[in-house]
Amino acid sequence: MISDRQAKERERRKDQILKGALTVFKEKGLEKATMDEIAKQADFGKATLYYYFSSKEEIFIELLDRGWKMIWESIEPALEDHEQPKESFMQALHIIGGLVTDNKTLFEFLFTAPQMMPGALMEGKPVWKNYQNKMYGVFQGLLEEGMAKGEFPEMQSDIMMRAIGGLFHGLFFLGHGKKRMSRETMEEFITSFIGNYGNS
């Protein structure tokens, strides 16, 4: 029998473990991260981690699931209005940019985690992948609708998606990270890029 109070406490401990795991994963990657180190970081014994999670991979996956769910839920409202695709597009990017600057460690993890993942972890259509696909799908859809409405210049939407994804990633994560990227600067870059492509 688990009381309401206990359930909340459990959640808090899971969070604590997840937070410790994030630190270690980000620093060492999935393979080099040891359960002992995660346990130390989270201030629990190793066996306790196994009381809350069934494996190292599960911790990793849960981190991704929660992260992408959070991203999706943050931008979803901005995506509902299909009347002004360009506006929705920019607004969503703006929101993500905000999340990223507030939460650099988490997002660096979310965006680079796929590279540390062996194929096995992708079995069973993981939750986070659904959110990611939904997000990319909507962005590309907005790009296409925007073109149809003349809000964007004509372009190959899939290639443009790659370009924008890379651009976004570069702005926020490349370089020595000394300087912070302001929302304004980001918006300026993307707008300029999208707005002017094809006009030259």
DSSP class per residue in 83-146: S-HHHHHHHHHHHHHHHHHH-HHHHHHHHHHHHH--GGGGTT--HHHHHHHHHHHHHHHHHHHH
184 touching a copy of itself, by CB under 8 A: no
Contact by Cβ (8 Å): 68, 51? no
84 touching a copy of itself, by CB under 8 A: no
19 versus 46: smaller Cβ distance to DNA: 46
45 touching DNA, by CB under 7 A: yes
Give residues 150-179 in contact with a copy of itself (rule: CB under 8 A).
158-159, 161-171, 173-175, 179
The Cα–Cα gap between 37 and 46 comes to 9
CB of 44 to DNA, least distance (A): 4
SS3 78: helix
Residues 135/141/142/148 CA torsion (nearest 10 deg):
180
17 versus 181: smaller Cβ distance to DNA: 17
Selected binder of DNA within 57, 65, 87, 151 (CB under 7 A): 57
Which among 79, 100, 169, 111 is positioned nearest to 189, based on CA atoms? 169
Selected binder of DNA within 18, 33, 138, 181 (CB under 7 A): 33
Residues that bind a copy of itself (CB under 8 A): 27-32, 112, 115-116, 118-119, 158-159, 161-171, 173-175, 179, 181, 185, 189, 191-193, 195-200
Residues that bind DNA (CB under 7 A): 1-3, 5-6, 9-10, 13, 32-36, 44-48, 50-52, 54-57
